[in-house]
Amino acid sequence: SSGETKGIFTPKFEDYQKVYNEVAKLLEEKDDYDDGSYGPVLVRLAWHASGTFDKETGTGGSNGATMRFAPEGDHGANAGLKAARDFLEPVKEKFPWISYSDLWILSGVCAIQEMQGPTIPYRPGRVDKEVAACTPDGRLPDASQGNKHLRDIFYRMGFNDQEIVALSGAHALGRCHTDRSGFDGPWTFSPTVVTNEYYNLLLKEKWTWKKWNGPKQYEDKTSKSLMMLPTDMALISDKSFKPWVEKYAKDNDLFFKDFSAVITKLFELGVPFAESSEKYTFKPTNA
Ligand code: DDH
C-alpha cells in the first residue's frame, strides 16, 4: 500500500500501476482519434522525449520533459505531439505526484503493452527540468536523409546498427500526417498493433516513389496505401542494417525481445536512477 510518512508521499509499484490503468482506460475510451487509438502518438511522445540524448555531454533524454516548453515543443520534429501531451493532462491532474517526464515514459510503455506489444520493464525516477534544459533543434532524425544520418543520430545516443533496426520497428505503429511532418500515410495495415509487419513489408513489397507535390516518400506498388520514408528504405539498402531487417521479418519473438530491450534502453538514456531503483512490470489490462 502507498506510504504516507510525515506528509511525504512515496509512490510504490501499485501507485504506478494505477497510473498505467488510467492511461489504458483513456486509450480505450478515446477511440475516435486517427486509426482508433492515441497509442501510436503516445509512443512517439516517449521516443521524442528520450531521443534528444547526447552521450558526450549527457544532455537531453527523457529526464526533464523539456518538450513542455516552446523552444523544444516548437521543433519541427515535435509537430503534432501536443495531441499526446494534452491527452495525458487529465492523468497528471488525477496523479499530481508523478513527474511529466515519468508520466510520458510510463504512457509509452502502457501504449506498447496495450497495443499487444512485448512487456517493457519500467523504472520511475525522472525529474522535470526548467526551460533552460531544452535541447537544441536537430537532435532527432530527419526522414529525408539516409544511412549516414541514421548512424550520426543514433550513435550519438549510444546505439549500434542492430539497435537502430530494432527501434525502427516502431513504425509498425501509427501514420504520417501532412499537417505535421508533411509526409502522408501509415507503414502497415494494422497501425494500432505492435507486430514485425514493418520488416515484412519493407522486404516483400515493391516500393516506388510516390507521385505527388509533398516531400519525397515511397508507396507500395500493390495497394498504394502504405508508405516508407527515405530513412526507412535505408534499412534495406545498407548491408549492415539489412540482415537485421531479415531476422526480425522472420522471427516476431526475436523482434519482441530485442525491441523491449532497446526501447527500455532508449527510455532510460541519461536518467540518474538511484542505485536501489527497481524495475516494474505492469500488468496489461487485457491480459
Ligand atoms: Fe518515427 N516518424 N521516425 N519512430 N514514429 C513518424 C511517426 C512515428 C522518423 C520519422 C517519423 C522512430 C524513428 C524514426 C514513431 C516511432 C518511432 C513520422 C510521422 C515521421 C516523419 C509524424 C507525423 O507526421 O505525425 C525517422 C526519420 C526515424 C528514424 O530515422 C529512425 C523510432 C526509433 C520510434 C520509436 O518509437 C522507437 C511512431 C509510433 C510514429 C507514429 C505517430 C503517430 O502519430 O501515429
Asked if 188 and 170 touch (Cβ cutoff 8 Å), the reply is no
Percentage above 90 pLDDT, the chain:
94
**Taking CA 217 as the corner, what is the angle to CA 141 and CA 180, rounded to the nearest 5 degrees?**
60
Nearest CA among 55, 125, 117, 45 for reference residue 81: 45
| pLDDT exceeds cutoff 70 at 5 | no
Q: Summarize pLDDT for 172-200 with one digit per residue, the tens.
A: 999 999 999 999 999 999 999 999 999 99
Q: Which residues pair with 178 in a beta bridge?
A: none
Q: Summarize pLDDT for 249-284 with one digit per residue, the tens.
A: 999 999 999 999 999 999 999 999 988 889 999 999
Q: Summarize pLDDT for 115-143 with one digit per residue, the tens.
A: 999 999 999 999 999 999 999 999 999 99
Give the pLDDT mean for 70-82: 98
ipTM: 0.99
Q: Summarize pLDDT for 138-175 with one digit per residue, the tens.
A: 999 999 999 999 999 999 999 999 999 999 999 999 99
Atom of ligand 1 nearest to the CA of 34: 45
Cell numbers linked to 104: 510520458
Ligand 1, CB within 6 Å, residue ranges? 40-41, 43-44, 47, 80, 141, 143, 150, 167-168, 170-171, 173-177, 180-181, 183, 229, 231, 263
| pLDDT exceeds cutoff 80 at 23 | yes
Atom of ligand 1 nearest to the CA of 35: 45
| pLDDT exceeds cutoff 60 at 3 | no
Structural domains of the chain, with CATH: 3-139+264-268 (1.10.520.10), 147-260 (1.10.420.10)
Catalytic residue among 47, 104, 187, 244: 187
